[in-house]
Each structure stands twice: as structure tokens, then as C-alpha cells.
């Protein structure tokens, strides 16, 4: 039941390091329009993780924004993982920016945990110095990867060693937000359990009865234990999958395509045995006998997509890495071997809202389309603030949006927006407005004065000299004076809803004396 003594290396804000930003440059990496990581210079200006892109740019106008690229992060972090191989060949990666390995052998060889952590910190600083980020990484040693990771975060920059058996005392004063479970932490705080020590002091049976399986895992972590009791038996050998590549692959996409099939096969074998994989060993071998091996860990269960991504990251960092560590031949063999498996406990999908089977199928479909058409070719609608139908909803690449998060519009999207056309929204919005004319009964063009009043009731809608339809009803106008403070982008226009004699309804607007068809209602 004693957790494995573990060393964790944590490189804060790794995404901006991998993006090539300098520490003294105000820069940030965004994912799904939220700040994922920021440089110290940006944080000094008030930019923090979780902020909306617009808010961050408002606080720091000079902010340089980089889009998140997980493959880029993993490719850059391969240099740090390679440097750690001088201490042990079995480097365990959970995500780009974090690496870990058991300290039992390395600690004895290098003279104890303190000497080992100091040497590792120096090695990592040597790598980060090339990017201009020396002195930012943290190294922690403790019982179990959870306590070691928190020790590394609290030590950054530098190293911290938690004595054997001292993990519970080290964790006790830390806030429950350290569990990285926002919903659970919110409930615990409202119950008065604000620290890991207070939460860990509860009876395990009471925690399971109130919070279920996830609460049980969090309770074990708060007590300084591993997520689950260690599995002493090795995974069955029949779960290991391998593929030989002929001819040898010297391109990442070719090897990654083979790895995708291997990941699906591994997942099918695990499902047949009722198991889930939480740690997998990825081994690649070249035609010249060079072998590259990494251990990948995941907090939950590694699905086929997650395994395939990690194989691609590993091969990308190896095949396209520095010339000194790059292999001299193409990849001829890829092996996926489960290193830790647990009983599959299944997953309950939402009944009243939340995650559903149809949501899961939609996400899988989008992922497949991205693989066929390209990452930026697949877009999804995103609510935005605005007065017109073309402004209120935009399309963004699906890769830039967290499809699993709540898509409820922000308060700024539903702001009053004076001059906004009332609901319902139109069904069809052209890419570009079409020029038309709205005329009165005497044949003159209808105008809108500075007070927002029509010069005459609209009678007909004309397009290119041809009658589109007789107006039987109309509503509006809704004048809007947008960006009045900027002479270069200021726009004054008034929108009008008209219903034609054949039942069609149009949204039109007048700007600088010309009428435009903006949208069509069902």
C-alpha cells in the first residue's frame, strides 16, 4: 500500500515555451478562446490562465497570442525527456511539460533523493537555457506521483524533497483545489472542508457513499496514497500489440497511421477482457537497431485516440528532434504494451442533458473529418455578441474549441446591444449581403433619418430592377451606430424586417443610402 517513491519534473507554462515566446515578452497560448499559459511578462500585466482571449488582450494590448498546438508542445518536450534519460531509461510522461520516474534505483546511484533532485534540476535548466527559460522548472520528490507533482509546483524554480512517509503531512495544509476536480472542490469548500487534510480525515466509506468512485480516488490522493492500490501482477502478454513497417517509415504521418490501427486493436483486446489501460509503453525500433521507448500515463483510461496521439507525439519528437538524437534509419517496428491495467468500470452517460451517446458520436465524427480534411477545415458555430445575425454567431475551427465544455453563451454575448434585432433569429444568412432596394408606393427609395424614422412606409422590394415581392407587413427600423469612437471602422445602419405577399420574411438594412438583404426567415 506504500506509494512508489517518485520524482516529478514540472515546467510551468510549457505551452508558451514550446511556442517560442521569450520569458520577457508578453505572450500567451490560447485554447478554445481561453488563456492556457502565459509568460511572466504577460502575467505581470494581469493575464492569467482561464481568461477569455478578449479580456487578456484588453489587459495587455501588446499581448502576442499563439494558438495551442499539443503536438508542438510534445515535440519540444522530447528534448527534456531525452535529457532525463541519463538518470533512468524509463521516463514516464503524462502531458507535455511534466515528466516523472521512480527514484528507487537512480536515488541509490546518485547519492540520495536530495542529490538526485538537484542534479535533475541542473540538467533541466541546461535544456531550458537554450529557450531562454532557465531557472523556471520545478523538481519534486515524494511518495507517489501526486504528492511529487505538488512538491515540484511549490518548489518551482528549484527542487523539494518530501521525506519518506511525510506525504500526508505535506499535503494536509494544501487547498482542495489541488485535486484538480473543480466540481468536487466547490462542494467540499461549501461543506467547510477547505484543505486536503480535512478531506482526508473523513471516513472512506462516507466519502464513497457521498461522492462515488471519483470521490474515492480524490480521497486516496488527499491521504498521500496512489489513486488505486498498486497492481502487483503484470498485464497479460496477449494484450501487447505490434506492427512491422515495410518499407521503413521515415515520416511521422506514415508511422502514426500504423499506430492508429494498433491503438484500435489494443483497445479491442482490453475491452474483450473488461480492462482499461492507464499506463502504456510505446516502443519504436529503426532498421539500424535504434530503440526509442516512453511510458505514457493518463489519469483516467487511455482510449484508442489518446494512445494514437501519444505515439504520434513520441515519434514526432524523435524523428524530427535535434540532429544529435535523431535516428539514422526509418522506423520498422512499433509496439504498444499496457504497463498498468485496471478493471473497466464503464461510464454512465447523461439522461437529463449533459453528455449523451449522440454527443460522443458527434465528437468522433468531427475528429474523423479533421483527419480527412485538415484540422482547420472543420468548423463549429460559436455564439458572439452583436446586433445583426451575422455578428451574433460566428464559425471557428473545431480544434480551437473545447467540444466537451459548456457552450452556454457568456453574459457579454447576451448583453443589451442597443439596436439589436429581436428574436427569433433568421434561418439563412448569406456570406455577403446582397444589394436590393426597398421602395415606397410612389416608387421612391425608402430612407431612414437620424432619429430612426422611415421616410415612407415600404411597399415593394426590388432586386436589379425586378420585383421581389409586395410588402404586406414590416417592423422596425432598428438603428445602430457602431464603433462611433473610431472613424476608420464606424458604421451607421438601420435594420428593417419586411414580410412579402408570398409569406417570405426578409431582414434588410440601409447603410449610406443603400439597401442590403442581410438574412431570410423561414
Model confidence, pTM: 0.64
For residues 338 and 277, the answer to whether their CB atoms sit within 8 Å is: yes
Strands 138-143 and 158-161: parallel
The pLDDT, as a whole number, for residue 409 is 53
Write down all domains in the chain, each with its CATH number in brackets. Answer: 172-222 (1.10.150), 237-343 (3.30.1490.100), 434-521 (no CATH)
The pLDDT, as a whole number, for residue 170 is 92
Give 281's strand partners.
295, 337
For residues 141 and 112, the answer to whether their CB atoms sit within 8 Å is: no
The pLDDT, as a whole number, for residue 231 is 52
Considering only CA atoms, which of 338, 155, 357 is closest in space to residue 238? Answer: 338
Alpha-carbon torsion angle 366, 368, 371, 376, nearest 10: -10
Q: For residue 410, what is its C-alpha cell?
A: 457568456
Q: What CA–CA distances, in Å, run from 345 to 102, 152, 342, 350, 499?
A: 27, 31, 9, 16, 57
The pLDDT, as a whole number, for residue 351 is 46
The pLDDT, as a whole number, for residue 75 is 84
* Rounded-to-integer distance, Cα 297 and Cα 144, Å: 13
The pLDDT, as a whole number, for residue 484 is 73
The pLDDT, as a whole number, for residue 472 is 85
The pLDDT, as a whole number, for residue 173 is 92
End-to-end CA distance of the chain: 65
- Taking phi first (over 0 means left), then psi (-120 to 50 degrees means alpha), and beta for anything else, what does residue 380 get? beta
Q: What CA–CA distances, in Å, run from 13 to 18, 38, 125, 141, 220?
A: 9, 6, 15, 20, 28
* Rounded-to-integer distance, Cα 341 and Cα 333, Å: 23
pLDDT tens digits in sequence order for the chain, 522 residues long:
678 889 999 998 898 998 888 888 899 998 877 888 899 899 888 888 888 888 888 888 888 999 888 888 888 888 888 888 888 888 888 888 899 888 888 899 888 989 999 999 999 998 888 888 888 889 999 988 889 999 999 887 888 999 988 999 999 999 999 888 888 888 899 888 899 999 999 998 888 888 887 888 889 888 888 776 555 456 667 788 888 888 888 888 788 888 888 888 888 888 887 877 778 888 888 888 888 888 887 766 667 777 888 888 888 877 777 766 778 888 888 888 887 777 666 554 444 445 555 666 776 677 677 666 666 677 777 776 667 776 677 777 766 565 555 555 555 555 666 767 777 777 677 777 778 888 888 888 888 887 778 888 888 888 877 778 888 888 878 888 777 777 777 778 888 888 888 888 888 888 888 888 888 887
Amino acid at each position: 500500500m506504500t506509494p512508489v517513491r517518485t520524482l516529478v519534473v514540472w515546467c510551468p507554462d510549457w505551452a508558451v515555451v514550446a511556442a517560442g515566446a521569450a520569458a520577457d515578452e508578453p505572450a500567451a497560448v490560447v485554447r478554445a478562446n481561453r488563456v492556457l499559459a502565459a509568460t511572466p511578462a504577460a502575467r505581470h500585466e494581469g493575464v492569467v490562465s482561464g481568461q477569455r482571449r478578449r479580456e487578456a488582450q484588453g489587459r495587455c494590448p501588446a499581448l502576442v497570442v499563439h494558438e495551442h498546438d499539443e503536438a508542438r508542445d510534445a515535440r519540444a518536450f522530447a528534448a527534456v525527456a531525452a535529457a532525463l534519460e541519463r538518470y533512468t531509461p524509463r521516463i514516464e510522461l503524462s502531458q507535455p511539460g511534466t515528466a516523472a520516474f521512480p527514484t528507487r534505483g537512480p536515488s541509490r546511484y546518485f547519492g540520495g533523493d536530495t542529490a538526485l533532485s538537484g542534479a535533475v534540476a541542473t540538467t533541466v535548466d541546461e535544456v531550458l537555457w537554450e529557450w531562454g527559460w532557465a531557472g523556471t522548472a520545478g523538481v519534486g520528490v515524494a511518495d507517489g506521483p501526486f504528492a511529487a507533482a505538488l512538491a515540484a509546483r511549490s518548489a518551482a524554480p528549484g527542487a523539494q524533497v518530501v521525506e519518506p512517509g511525510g506525504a500526508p503531512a505535506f499535503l494536509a495544509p494544501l487547498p482542495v483545489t489541488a485535486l484538480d476536480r473543480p466540481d468536487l472542490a466547490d462542494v467540499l469548500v461549501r461543506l467547510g472542508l477547505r484543505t486536503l487534510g480535512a478531506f482526508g480525515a473523513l471516513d472512506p466509506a462516507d466519502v464513497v457513499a457521498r461522492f462515488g468512485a471519483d470521490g474515492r480516488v480524490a480521497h486516496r490522493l488527499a491521504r498521500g496514497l496512489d489513486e488505486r492500490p498498486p497492481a502487483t501482477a503484470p498485464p497479460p502478454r496477449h494484450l501487447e500489440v505490434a506492427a512491422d513497417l515495410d518499407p521503413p517509415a521515415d515520416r511521422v504521418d506514415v508511422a502514426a497511421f500504423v499506430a492508429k490501427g494498433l491503438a484500435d486493436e489494443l483497445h479491442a483486446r482490453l475491452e474483450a477482457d473488461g480492462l482499461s489501460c492507464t499506463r502504456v509503453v510505446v516502443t519504436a525500433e529503426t532498421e539500424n537497431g535504434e530503440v526509442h521507448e516512453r511510458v505514457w500515463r493518463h489519469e483516467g483510461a487511455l482510449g484508442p485516440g489518446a494512445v494514437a496521439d501519444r505515439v504520434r507525439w513520441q515519434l514526432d519528437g524523435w524523428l524530427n528532434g535535434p540532429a544529435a538524437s535523431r535516428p539514422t534509419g526509418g522506423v520498422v517496428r512499433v509496439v504498444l504494451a499496457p504497463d498498468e491495467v485496471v478493471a473497466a468500470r464503464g461510464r454512465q452517460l447523461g439522461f437529463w442533458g449533459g453528455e449523451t451517446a449522440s454527443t460522443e458520436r458527434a465528437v468522433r465524427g468531427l475528429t474523423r473529418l479533421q483527419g480527412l480534411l485538415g484540422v482547420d477545415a472543420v468548423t463549429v458555430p460559436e455564439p458572439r455578441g452583436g446586433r445583426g445575425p451575422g455578428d451574433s454567431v460566428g464559425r471557428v475551427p473545431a480544434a480551437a474549441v473545447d467540444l466537451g465544455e459548456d457552450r452556454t453563451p457568456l453574459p457579454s454575448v447576451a448583453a443589451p446591444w442597443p439596436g439589436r434585432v429581436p428574436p427569433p433569429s433568421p434561418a439563412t444568412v448569406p456570406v455577403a449581403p446582397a444589394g436590393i432596394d426597398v421602395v415606397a408606393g410612389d416608387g421612391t427609395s425608402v430612407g431612414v433619418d437620424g432619429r430612426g424614422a422611415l421616410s415612407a412606409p415600404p411597399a415593394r422590394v426590388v432586386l436589379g430592377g425586378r420585383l421581389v415581392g409586395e410588402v404586406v407587413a414590416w417592423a422596425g427600423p432598428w438603428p445602430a451606430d457602431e464603433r462611433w469612437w473610431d472613424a476608420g471602422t464606424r458604421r451607421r445602419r438601420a435594420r428593417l424586417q419586411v414580410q412579402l405577399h408570398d409569406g417570405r420574411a426578409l431582414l434588410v438594412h440601409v447603410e449610406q443610402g443603400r439597401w442590403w438583404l442581410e438574412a431570410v426567415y423561414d
